[in-house]
Amino acid sequence: MLQLPLDIQLDASARFDNFYAANNTQLLQRLKNLTVSSDDFLFIWGAEHVGKSHLAQAICAEYSGNKLTTAYFPLDNSSLVPEVLDGFEFADIVCLDSFQAISGDLAWQEAVFNLFNNIKNQKHHLIIFSQQSPKNIPLQLADLKSRLNSMEVYRLESLNGEQRVEFLISTSKHRGLEIPIEVAQYILSRASRDVKNLISLVDLLDAQSLAQQRKVTIPFVKKVLKL
């Protein structure tokens, strides 16, 4: 993956194999099957904290490992300026995250429009992640709106209650941590249920379980998470 001299923090743990797909298996399979011989333009949208940033960074990790050049731009990062996109059509795969952040910024929209056209000419891949669909996101640049509507569009579905329990248990297992189903249900009945928060809770439980040499029980969770 291309490392940029900017204030962009990449999550080294973001991988396809630890993304809990649930109802998004078709999308995950599509992302695993990008090929050098095609020019894929995908627009992926969904609610906040459903795993869009995880997928964007997993794409870069996966394909940079296959000797492709990838670039990741979180457009809600205030340290970025539109000019940072100049010339990045040379990258095999460009991921633009938090696209909704530029809905009121014409300069950014023009930069993305130019990048889109240049990537198309190079027959490379552009993947955009946003909280809003291309039809609903408010943009001042009509030509960019038209380009977005020409992309393959996927909605990243949120997890239901049962899937969140499975996600919590599965995410823990990837870290070597065992969380019984009744403990997972207890956590979800009292903590914020968005995916980003649940991952943070698992990280904390994992660290404290190792430090204290304790199994994850409801009393342990009450103490560590202060629930």
d(CA 1, CA 57): 10
- Domain 161-225 grouped into CATH 1.20.1630.10: no
- Judged by phi (left if over 0) then psi (alpha if -120 to 50, else beta), residue 67 lies in left
pLDDT at res. 7: 60
- Mean of the per-residue pLDDT values of the chain: 91
Per residue in 158-204, pLDDT (tens digit) is 888 899 999 999 989 988 999 999 999 999 999 988 887 888 899 99
Binning pLDDT at 50, 70 and 90, where does residue 5 land? very low
Quick one: three-class SS letters along the chain? CCCCCCCCCCCCCCCHHHCCCHHHHHHHHHHHCCCCCCCCEEEEECCCCCCHHHHHHHHHHHHHCCCCCEEEEECCCCCCCHHHHCCHHHCCEEEEECHHHHCCCHHHHHHHHHHHHHHHHHCCEEEEEECCCCCCCCCCCHHHHHHHHCCEEEECCCCCHHHHHHHHHHHHHHCCCCCCHHHHHHHHHHCCCCHHHHHHHHHHHHHHHHHHCCCCCHHHHHHHHCC
Which segments of the chain belong to CATH 1.10.8.60?
A: 161-225
Can you give the pLDDT at residue 31? 95
Residue 96 dihedral angles phi and psi, to the nearest 5°? -105, 115
Rounded Cα–Cα distance for residues 165 and 183 (Å): 9
The 10s digit of each residue's pLDDT in 77-107 is 999 999 999 999 999 999 999 999 999 999 9
The confidence score (pLDDT) of residue 111 equals: 98
pLDDT at 10: 75
Any idea what the Cα angle at residue 116 is, between residues 62 and 38, rounded to 5°? 50
CATH of 16-155, one of 3.40.50.620, 3.40.350.10, 3.40.50.300, 2.30.42.10: 3.40.50.300
- Percent of the chain topping pLDDT 70: 97
All CATH 3.40.50.300 domain ranges of the chain, comma separated, are 16-155
Q: For the whole model, what pTM was predicted?
A: 0.86
Strands 93-97 and 125-130: parallel
The whole-number pLDDT of residue 3 equals: 47
